[in-house]
Amino acid sequence: MAKLKVGIIGGSGYSGGELLRILLFHPQVDLRLVTAHEQAGRRVDEVHPNLRHLTDLRFAETTISEEFGQLDCLFLALPHGESMALVPELPDGVKLIDLAGDYRLQDAETFARYYGRRHASFHLQSQFVYGLTEINRERIRRARRVANPGCFATAALLGTAPLIARGLIEGPVIVDAKTGSSGSGAKPAANTHHPRRANSFFAYKAFAHQHRPEIVQTLRAVNPEWSGRLILQTHSAPMVRGIFATIYGRLGRRLVWEELRDLFEQFYADCFFVRLVEGSPDVNWVKQTNFADIGWAVDGRDVIVFVAIDNLMKGAAGQAVQNLNLMFGLEEQTGLVFPGSHP
């Protein structure tokens, strides 16, 4: 088949850089266009020096032109709140994958509460399919517009969905999640600047993280009878990449480790990028990959699930390319099969 003509809007940030790293070597992609606000006119490898000698692309202005209409797919790797202003102007014939949170939530009031702004084009939200690949695969195959999941949401949902789908959790789900500094984007702020985070550990956004309603919304779709009680607490960890989520729940009946193994194996039987491990996963083994490693422990009715992902890959760009593959009838793992490093 002819290569897909692809563009990236907002390619100068961390997620945009990861999209570039993947798509430049994707066997079915012809990367035609990369835009950026402040970096327009500069060579891509000036901004992303890891790509030196690998591309001659330059960042273009984010201005809608005829070139956009000639593309098969556009990735939007913009800060939250920018996609909703741009999407109404984009050509209808181009498939979209939005890595921001603008079109993930199905309720406008919930969006305003958690994102701190009114939605500028909420009438388009119903056109977007939620892009958690392992749970929404068939809808993504048919989609023209996909809302890529948040990084914490990806980890939390992969760990809880098998249990919620079977109705095994009784009472609230507690997600205790840690992330590296790259999750806050390329521009440093008071709580994301390296001197603040390098040798520190702290919690943030208690009861207010924007990924919480996204998780609840998706778990209710997995099992409409679920109570919807979820506590998400996020933490800044002294690392650059990775998310580690520890998920606590109370089972409705006593189970042993092997029964949970069978449950996870059945649920993820066709999911190449989910790896089940004994004991605890480690973020080092998933860094720079699209894999999600899941482990668990159980004591009677008390269950703990552990999930490790790379926040910029399975939590952002890698999953976005996974969705691209589905949307265009390619093998799901095309261009994404590479291991992490050891050590």
Residues labelled catalytic? 151
Type of residue at 64 = I
Q: At what angle do helices 211-222 and 108-115 cross, to 10 degrees?
A: 150
Q: Which two tokens stand for residue 219?
A: 């778990």
Hey, which residues does 33 pair with through a beta bridge? 7
Residue 151 · residue 210 · CB < 8 Å: no
Question: Pick from 10, 206, 23, 221: which is nearest to 104 by CA?
Answer: 221
Distance CA 215, CA 154 (A): 8
Backbone torsions φ then ψ of 176, nearest 5 degrees? -110, 110
At 50, is the secondary structure helix, strand, or coil? helix
**CA 205, 207, 211 angle in degrees (round to 5)?**
75
Decide: helix, strand or coil at residue 336: coil
The answer to whether residues 315 and 245 touch, using CB atoms and an 8 Å cutoff, is no
Give me the phi and psi of 327, to 5 degrees please. -65, -25
DSSP codes joined into one string, 142-175: H-SEEEPPPHHHHHHHHHHHHHHHTT-B-S-EEE
Helix (H), strand (E), coil (C) string for 80-123: CCCHHHHHHHCCCCCEEEECCCCCCCCCHHHHHHHHCCCCCCHH
